[in-house]
Structure 1
Amino acid sequence: MTLPPRRRLLRRGISASVSLALAVAGTATAVVLSTAPAAQAAAVPAPSPLDVPGRGASVPFKEQEAEYAATNGTLIGPNRLYGSLPSEASGRQAVTLDAVGEYVEFTLTAPANAMTFRYSLPDNSAGTGRDAAVDLRVNGNTLKSVPVTSKYGWYYGGYPFNNNPGDTNPHHFYDETRTMFGSTLPTGTKIRLQVSSTAASPTFTIDLADFEQVAAPIGKPAGALDVVTDFGADPTGATDSTAKIQAAVDAGRTQGKQVYLPEGTFQVRDHIVVDQVTLAGAGPWYSVLTGRDPSNRAKAVGVYGKYANQGGSRNVTLKNFAIIGDIREREDNDQVNAIGGAMSDSTVDNVWMQHTKCGAWMDGPMNNFTIKNSRILDQTADGVNFHMGVTNSTVTNTFVRNSGDDGLAMWAENVPNVNNKFTFNTVILPILANNIVTYGGKDITISDNVMSDTITNGGGLHVANRYPGVNSGQGTAVSGTTTAARNTLIRTGNNDYNWQFGVGAVWFSGLNEPVNGTINVTDSEILDSSYAAIHLIEGSTNALNFNNIRIDGAGTYALQIQSPGKATFTNVKATHIAQPNPIHNCVGSGFQITQGTGNSGWYANPPACTGQWPAPVWTNGGVPQGGTNPPTDPPTTPPTTPPTTPPTTPPTTPPTTPPDTGNQAQGRPIAESGHADVYGAGNAVDGNANTYWESTNNAFPQSVTVDLGAAKAIKRVVLKLPPATAWATRTQTLSVLGSTNNSSFSTLKASAGYTFNPSANGNSVTITLDGTSTRYLRVNITGNTGWPAGQLSELEAYTS
């Protein structure tokens, strides 16, 4: 899920670590390499998400990064700037080949008979993608030509994106393909990907390769129904097998028999609906479902349970096959996911999902559902989403890479999600939004996962009351105890191109309403964060507990506090924080910090509160990539001069309230009459004019009320809309009211029309007041010539 744009809708402890203390091995600039193996020396060593003991998915492959392999190509990166080719590469580095004979050569570290490699080709001028091929060579001899394509990549513009190369924000550059060698190759074999022609594509960028030993095909279980021999499905993929596989599945349910997908590629153009049946293949490298309706693009391959309004499905097992689709765009109204519907008491085991919209979008109510031992690659939207009413369900030991939106998500829209778990998963390179997130939900567990390389508009781990339908009135808000334990985050968090500031690696949002459930973040590592390590924004988060956390490397701050809340910190240690002051906090005492023992490196009083966000310093494993070098070890106590007699340890009391000369409304609690979509009132006091509150549409009057924390003589109110010229001039009719008790309000400024003009006044108006003592400041809006709702990006209040 994206951020502001409109959209649909404990035992291993800290010892299971990845060190950032890596040797300096090169520079951040591109280096042209004329002879192999120069790239191996030029690349910057970066921690791998697959080298974290005891955490993440147990994968069946050995991964090698192209930037450490032998090559005569060009090293690109490290770079985390959104829209750049290395920013979406694993470890933010890759190798580009742009001439015949250029190659990347890997050396097998274990026997293998198959490989998957991740690559990027440039788009064509029409945005439809290009097809090409690379030579696969074994010990110098050509084995085969492997097809590659860019038709599943390259998106443009804003959410939900398009395929128009003339638009802005190109992204989603990479794809993956797989191939088998035909025999098992021994350790030490040289596997080369080499350019034989640049006629079809001028460049080939290689990110990584995964090598594995694929087991022999699984035979048909005794007594099982065979979709080919018993029902006539076509294993060559030449004809549509949808109806025949559906007939086999229906027969399996009525006869109480398993249904077997033998080796083959089966054309499926609509959902196979499953209920009380096992559908099993010969293995995901052998049994493949693929396809899409040639005329109705809303129909495509997928295996679905019946929806809840149809009674849902139960007792389903899907295992040992692949669903590889043909989805090349994002259309959120189309149910073109690999797996979907409602499946209670059901299991997905060892299923490969690729090139669909979502790997699994599960619509409840449903209970006791598990995805395990699976791979989810190259989606246009979420990897997995437990969407409303999903209870007692789990994703475990699953590998997710290159999802188009959240990697693993729970979204309690209108119906509660309860007691769900994401455990022992590896989630890498979500192109948009977060690696792992829960939007609402009660008693949720996110544990023993590895998350790495967030791209934009999100962080690594997110807990939030965000998106439609997530609120306490429906029992869908964050509640009970959320457990985030023994997780490792590497290079997570990134810049949000709407907010224009960094999103933290671990972040919390009370956009719809305050987050009041207990959130325990324990025994975890936050490594080489692209911006802040821990981040709070929108509304408030009131029961946070951090215990036994190691922060090693942050591009900006250890803590980025943009909303009120309460948090305890025990044994939280931070090093290599880019900013000399490790905390950014403009909400003052609105955010209350309680310190336990064992903390170091992340606390300062006073914190930083700046008008501008600093450029990040990306370390990629301890090697600075921009800006100035971060301190090698921020002090654990304040300096001895000045002042001459500082405290010997950081104070445990929170920072004091901002001085009366500043904006008294920023970061304060704010109430609203209502809001549309994701545009909650918290946006009006977050200090960022690019985010905004928008009221419920077509329902004037509408208002926002900010609690200043104490009665103050407010003499000036500044109201803003986003300064972008896309916000056309509009006049809002409004009044300003005040109260000392939040019950009886008096008029501080009578209703009048105020014109917001991005060209004339930067979409900002100033209203003078007489300084009446006011604690609760309200702006009441009764009309808007530009939109049938009240709109404010900032409500600022000043005493002078």
Structure 2
Amino acid sequence: MSVSLALAAAGTVVAVALAPHAAAAGVPAPSPVGISGRGAAVPFKEQEAEYAATNGTLIGPDRLYGRLPSEASGRQAVTLDATGEYVEFTLTAPADAMSFRYSLPDNAAGTGRDASLDLTVDGNRLKSVPVTSKYGWYYGGYPFNNNPGDTDPHHFYDETRTMFGSTLPAGSKVRLQVSSTGGSPSFTIDLADFEQVGAPIGKPSGALDVVGDFGADPTGATDSTAKIQAAVDTGRAQGRTVYIPRGTFQVRDHIVVDQVTLAGAGPWYSVLTGRDPVDRSKAVGVYGKYAGQGGSRNVTLKDFAIMGDIRERVDDDQVNAIGGALSDSTVDNVWMQHTKCGAWMDGPMDNFTVKNSRILDQTADGVNFHMGVTNSTVTNTFVRNTGDDGLAMWAENVPNVKNKFTFDTVVLPILANNIVTYGGKDITLSDNVMADTVTNGGGLHVANRYPGVNSGQGTAVSGTITAARNTLIRAGNNDYNWQFGVGAVWFSGLNEPLNATVDVTDSEILDSSYAAIMNIEGATNGLRFDHVRIDGAGTYALQIQAPGSASFNDVTATNIAQSNPIHNCVGSGFRITRGTGNSGWYADPPACTGTWPDPKWTNGGVPGGGTPPTDPPTDPPTDPPTDPTVNLAKNRPVTESSHTDVYPAANAVDGNANSYWESANNAFPQSVTVDLGTAEAVRRVVLKLPPAAAWATRTQTLSIQGSTDGTAFSTLKASAGHTFDPAGGNTATVTLSGTPTRYLRVLITGNTGWPAGQLSEIEAYTG
């Protein structure tokens, strides 16, 4: 299968993962999980329901707000609505636990319904797993309510988790099956994540135990708030770690931490949960002291879960998993779910890090660095199904400076953006994966928006904003408020013009739901795009709605739905500087129409503006052809049998014919293998040596081999001598039959000019 979205941007080394698919199942669509070198390195293997074995009904693909598949990962899912219907996943690696994402219909009162699904392993029923809709289904406008009488239902999905009790080997078949429709008329399954949790983490030496030393209740039957607070206070006074052993602990108010380590047995084992039964503004959370109280510092929170019970959004209620001011502090391997925000941090505060964590099913933001947060980071963190921005910085009245969001995966923000900085100086938003924006936002956003963001207070966007090596998949949306689309990457100068250096480099913008790049609401200057690949946009490559300036170098665009790739009604008010290596995104004159087009998704979606098929497709759609003039091997991952000195195989795919790979001497055979990312019908391989006159003519004896899995290789071209003559450009061309090939290997067994394999470029083309 050839999917052009899986191709890497020039200058990047990534591979977009494609889920395996069965016949008559979901439309193949790139997954945000498992992209090499980008996003969070998650501990689970993810499988989408639409590619699993099922006797249920495929829904989607669809991206229209308010429809059930529009909030599913990949915009597709499977609905089970009869006893005996199931989705069955086959494990690709050993696992002892799973979490799965699902939706139940709301009840008439808007209070949610409770039901269960049977979990079977290899045909044997293991247990019943409870599911609920009480954390989903919001209605009306911001900040939303639970009244089904209002319009615009959304936030349909939730996640639950369960352990198997033993480790299941790869190949095990894990089935979610309907045993009764009495609790719910239907069950929609989006995906499942399988992982190897292992044993609980033991108590650190010298640590205080909240159960053994302070009497906290691990059964969750009684309120443990005061006892855990006492343990934390003692830990600070004595300089000792405070340990939360295995158990579920009722916590009905903030645990306030300062100069202490609070550590659990692991987020699958140590769980803080709860909410005050009378005062609903009080709920489980671990907080630093607020800045007005002096703030907290030197805090470590690690290896536990905070599972809230928040079912509505009230912005004045501080019912977040983590909050306050925490300087010189770290949150490590904390699972945050069913709270208002995962972490809402109110500065001034400095040097705070969230890492290796999961943030799921929030009613508002995943993380918000709110005013006066400096030198702080969220990294290697997985965020999904937030009610507002996934990861945000908001410099309200106090500057945010030198913060970073790096190596994070942010999927399905139900409102607003995947990743955003509202104001901020010298901010880094890099090495992330952003996917499936739903409404009122884009994938990556840089803006002078929201109260308190202005240059008079030093809070506006300033310095250098670095957005490097990001991958955006199905980002942006056809906004139902604006009645036109929001770009996957977008900029706004609503409060005042955005005047800063904004570098968007080495990135991919794939299958955008509306435009790929957009600016709006006031001038935006200083944009610099370099080595960016746009593959698939529902409407335009560029949507220009405000003055400003931008430079473009090595920016390529393919599969743009509109024949004119630019929409611009401000004319010369937006100045474009074109460097080298650009293609597919520029037009003069651009389009300027009185109406906005409906989006047509060129990959991973249904053409025609978002109307899903009435019946599941019987076969996957035909993928768009790969451009035969594009070198599929350029800057792709590459391996080698050996190299000598400073001549690695990376030199053979860097686009520079003067740099070269050379193998170990006197040790034939030698090989170089390029991962093209997906199986492509390669019909022509061009091999090069440096064109310098110092290179004498030589003949290398070589064959071309191919593989779809990187393990089993077949011969695409038998071994033969190929002559490289400087007078003819030192180039040899090998024609092939077009056998689908992902891993392309050049195997060299001889060289008349030097006792080693030598190549300066390997180029692969489909035509």
TM-score for both structures, normalised by structure 2: 0.78
1:481 aligns with 2:464: yes
Amino acid at match of 2:540: Y
Q: CA deviation at 1:500?
A: 1.1
Q: Secondary structure at the match of 1:118?
A: strand
Which residue in 2 is equivalent to 1:317? 300
Contact 2:9 2:532 in 1 (8 A): no
Q: Secondary structure at the match of 1:419?
A: coil
1:592 aligns with 2:575: yes
Q: Give structure 2 stretches of 5+ with no counterpart.
A: 1-7, 612-621, 630-767
Amino acid at match of 1:15: V
Which of these residues, 217, 234, 240, is aligned with residue 200 of structure 2?
217
Contact 1:44 1:620 in 2 (8 A): no
1:421 aligns with 2:404: yes
Amino acid at match of 1:408: L
> What are the residue-to-residue correspondences of 1:63-462 with 2, within 5 Å?
63-462=46-445
Quote the Cα distance in structure 2 between the aligned partners of 1:175 and 1:193.
15
Once the two structures are superposed, what CA deviation does each residue of 1:431-469 show, in whole Å capped at 9, x if it has no partner? 000000000000000000000000000000000000000
Contact 2:13 2:37 in 1 (8 A): no
Change in Cα spacing, 1:104 to 1:363, as seen in structure 2 (3 Å) is same
Give the paired residue count: 612
Quote the Cα distance in structure 2 between the aligned partners of 1:582 and 1:619.
14
Q: CA deviation at 1:625?
A: 5.5
Quote the Cα distance in structure 1 between the aligned partners of 2:115 and 2:610.
39
Q: Secondary structure at the match of 1:502?
A: strand
Q: Secondary structure at the match of 2:475?
A: coil
Contact 2:331 2:354 in 1 (8 A): yes
Quote the Cα distance in structure 2 between the aligned partners of 1:631 and 1:231.
64
1:528 aligns with 2:511: yes
Which of these residues, 473, 485, 488, is aligned with residue 502 of structure 1?
485
Change in Cα spacing, 1:262 to 1:490, as seen in structure 2 (3 Å) is same
Quote the Cα distance in structure 2 between the aligned partners of 1:176 and 1:523.
33
Amino acid at match of 1:94: A
Amino acid at match of 1:18: V
Q: Secondary structure at the match of 2:217?
A: coil
Quote the Cα distance in structure 1 between the aligned partners of 2:548 and 2:35.
32
Q: Secondary structure at the match of 1:126?
A: coil
Contact 2:62 2:605 in 1 (8 A): no
Q: CA deviation at 1:620?
A: 3.7
Contact 1:291 1:325 in 2 (8 A): yes
Q: CA deviation at 1:52?
A: 1.4
Q: CA deviation at 1:632?
A: 6.7
Amino acid at match of 1:13: G
Contact 1:430 1:453 in 2 (8 A): yes
Amino acid at match of 1:209: A
Quote the Cα distance in structure 2 between the aligned partners of 1:95 and 1:530.
22
Which residue in 2 is equivalent to 1:13? 11
Quote the Cα distance in structure 1 between the aligned partners of 2:494 and 2:87.
47
Q: CA deviation at 1:497?
A: 1.9
Q: CA deviation at 1:344?
A: 0.2
Once the two structures are superposed, what CA deviation does each residue of 1:225-257 show, in whole Å capped at 9, x if it has no partner? 000010110000000000000000000000000
Q: CA deviation at 1:624?
A: 3.4
Quote the Cα distance in structure 1 between the aligned partners of 2:529 and 2:314.
39
Change in Cα spacing, 1:17 to 1:591, as seen in structure 2 (3 Å) is farther
Contact 1:367 1:392 in 2 (8 A): yes
Change in Cα spacing, 1:550 to 1:580, as seen in structure 2 (3 Å) is same
> What are the residue-to-residue correspondences of 1:614-629 with 2, within 5 Å?
614-621=597-604, 624=607, 626=609
Q: CA deviation at 1:85?
A: 0.4
Contact 2:9 2:531 in 1 (8 A): no
> What are the residue-to-residue correspondences of 1:625-664 with 2, within 5 Å?
626=609
Amino acid at match of 2:13: S
Q: Give structure 1 stretches of 5+ with no counterpart.
A: 1-9, 26-38, 637-800
Contact 1:578 1:630 in 2 (8 A): no
Amino acid at match of 1:434: N
Q: CA deviation at 1:630?
A: 12
Amino acid at match of 1:16: V
> What are the residue-to-residue correspondences of 1:690-705 with 2, within 5 Å?
none
Once the two structures are superposed, what CA deviation does each residue of 1:193-238 show, in whole Å capped at 9, x if it has no partner? 0000001100000000000000210111111000001011000000
Quote the Cα distance in structure 2 between the aligned partners of 1:51 and 1:170.
31
Quote the Cα distance in structure 2 between the aligned partners of 1:90 and 1:397.
20
Q: Secondary structure at the match of 1:247?
A: helix
Amino acid at match of 2:562: Q
Amino acid at match of 2:179: S
Contact 2:9 2:533 in 1 (8 A): no
Q: CA deviation at 1:627?
A: 7.7
Q: Percent identity?
A: 84
Which of these residues, 42, 45, 59, is aligned with residue 25 of structure 2?
42
Amino acid at match of 2:14: A
Q: CA deviation at 1:623?
A: 6.2
Contact 2:561 2:602 in 1 (8 A): no
Once the two structures are superposed, what CA deviation does each residue of 1:387-446 show, in whole Å capped at 9, x if it has no partner? 000000000000000011000000000000000000000000000000000000000000
Amino acid at match of 1:192: R
Contact 2:17 2:32 in 1 (8 A): no
Change in Cα spacing, 1:126 to 1:62, as seen in structure 2 (3 Å) is same
Contact 2:600 2:606 in 1 (8 A): no
Amino acid at match of 1:405: D
> What are the residue-to-residue correspondences of 1:653-692 with 2, within 5 Å?
none
Quote the Cα distance in structure 1 between the aligned partners of 2:448 and 2:126.
53
Contact 1:14 1:550 in 2 (8 A): no
- RMSD, matched Cα: 1.9
Amino acid at match of 1:515: L
Q: CA deviation at 1:635?
A: 13
Contact 1:153 1:172 in 2 (8 A): yes
Q: CA deviation at 1:619?
A: 3.1
Quote the Cα distance in structure 1 between the aligned partners of 2:187 and 2:97.
21
Q: CA deviation at 1:517?
A: 1.0
Which residue in 2 is equivalent to 1:564? 547
Indicate the structure whose relative CO is greater, using CA pairs within 8 Å and at least 6 residues apart: 2
Contact 2:17 2:34 in 1 (8 A): no
Q: CA deviation at 1:15?
A: 3.1
Quote the Cα distance in structure 2 between the aligned partners of 1:299 and 1:289.
14
Contact 1:372 1:396 in 2 (8 A): yes
Q: Secondary structure at the match of 2:185?
A: coil
Amino acid at match of 1:269: R
Quote the Cα distance in structure 1 between the aligned partners of 2:212 and 2:605.
59
Q: Secondary structure at the match of 1:455?
A: coil
Quote the Cα distance in structure 2 between the aligned partners of 1:635 and 1:559.
24
Contact 1:577 1:631 in 2 (8 A): no
Q: Secondary structure at the match of 1:91?
A: helix
